Structure 1
């Protein structure tokens, strides 16, 4: 396969699913990892894609956000590992905040602790929490069509009525300088309150979120521990982040 054909195939795959792992690209093209890495570097130089840890994504505006369907289809195995590890932090009798999102949803089925109370702003979290028999409190507010998150004045006012043993937060970006960020300022504010009102806060992020920034910062790295997956592509950056925050890297 010629170089331009292989690179067109890479871009075509990214247009279909927005984010692609290195293993997916090697399988789709039949090329070696080293060849794909060179292709990604060249395509990034042309501003046709953005390299991320473990793969590549299409360039996006800081305020753009993938919808729930797209999120559910990406990095599913990694999210399950991250979710299982996050769930191990939940203890009997804990009152926890579980943020809207697919990484946070993945932890619900793995919670083994008893008498856990869950407060959430995520429609997907409500369904999962009730399915597994947890006592569940839901914020009011406006429902975002894309992420199915409850936000706005009513949600903020409701958040102020709670204090949490632990908070588990999703993110769109993890950056050594900018911290944790997400596209929507209103959703960022809910996350910020959750971090502030929890005795312990954890941010759940697959490696595609590493070394990325989004529009609205909701916490510094020192404000919440990071739970992500470990991989050779992210090892160097995780080491850099570990100097700024507590990191729990789950092995694939």
Structure 2
């Protein structure tokens, strides 16, 4: 395969999958790993993609955020496996915070107990919880249409009144140097407080979110349990396993 053809294939795969690993590109192109690494450097210089740990991702603005509909159709199998495991961690009489998001939403059918207290900033999450007769508090504030989440001063004021056994949060970026990030500072602050007020803290993230950085810092990886899928390479598992408690589930 000629270099221009290989470059075009790499760019196409990145656009289709959002993020691809080096071993996937080696298999797709038949080129050596060193050649692929060189290709990625050249394509990054041309601003056609972004190099990340172990592969490449689509070039995306740090403040750009997919809508809830766009998120819901991506990595469905991985999100379901992550959500099932996360739900299994809940105990009777737990007080928990469930963050707005498509992966956290997938937890709801698998909640093992009804005798829990849930605080959430997700409108769609609250509606599903009350169908289960689970005691639910929906934070007030400004409704963010793109993610169906409550944010702003009123949400922060309400959240500050509660303390949790566990919190379950979605995230847009996990990076070994920059920690946990999300595009919206208002959502970042809600997540920060949920982490601060919880005894056990869980981040639910499919493997494509790793080595990504978005605009607003949520927190560091220390003291966090990250639940992800087996699409994370062994090298990345070692890196992030040193920085956090990493639980990898089979998708």
Provide TM-score, normalisation by structure 2. Answer: 0.85
C-alpha offsets along residues 132-160 of structure 1, whole Å, 9 cap, x if unaligned? 33221100011112111110000000001
Distance 2:10 2:130 in 1: 40
CA contact (8 A) 1:55 1:208 kept: no
C-alpha offsets along residues 195-249 of structure 1, whole Å, 9 cap, x if unaligned? 0111111011111110111111111101321111123x52211211111211111
Distance 1:205 1:43 in 2: 27
Distance 1:142 1:86 in 2: 28
- CA 18–154 in structure 1, closer or farther in 2 if over 3 Å, else same: farther
- 1:249 has 2:244 as partner: no
Show structure 2 runs of 5+ residues with no match: none
For the residue of structure 2 that corresponds to 1:249, the secondary structure is strand
Show structure 1 runs of 5+ residues with no match: none
- Residue aligning to 2:228: 228
- Residue aligning to 2:196: 196
Distance 1:18 1:230 in 2: 16
- 1:33 has 2:28 as partner: yes
- Residue aligning to 1:77: 77
CA contact (8 A) 1:86 1:107 kept: yes
Provide TM-score, normalisation by structure 1. Answer: 0.85
Q: CA deviation at 1:21?
A: 5.8
Distance 1:120 1:70 in 2: 21
- CA 54–45 in structure 1, closer or farther in 2 if over 3 Å, else same: same
- CA 55–125 in structure 1, closer or farther in 2 if over 3 Å, else same: farther
Q: CA deviation at 1:58?
A: 2.2
- CA 246–199 in structure 1, closer or farther in 2 if over 3 Å, else same: same
For the residue of structure 1 that corresponds to 2:156, the secondary structure is helix
CA contact (8 A) 1:101 1:124 kept: no
Q: CA deviation at 1:3?
A: 6.3
Q: CA deviation at 1:61?
A: 1.5
**Aligned pairs, how many?**
244
C-alpha offsets along residues 91-136 of structure 1, whole Å, 9 cap, x if unaligned? 1111110001111111111111230221100122123323333221
Alignment of 1:1-252 (within 5 A): 4=4, 8=8, 11=11, 19=18, 32-35=27-30, 38=36, 41=40, 43-50=43-50, 57-231=57-231, 234-252=233-251
- CA 20–247 in structure 1, closer or farther in 2 if over 3 Å, else same: closer
Q: CA deviation at 1:251?
A: 2.0
CA RMSD of aligned residues (A): 2.7
Q: Which runs of 4+ in 1 moved over 6 A?
A: none
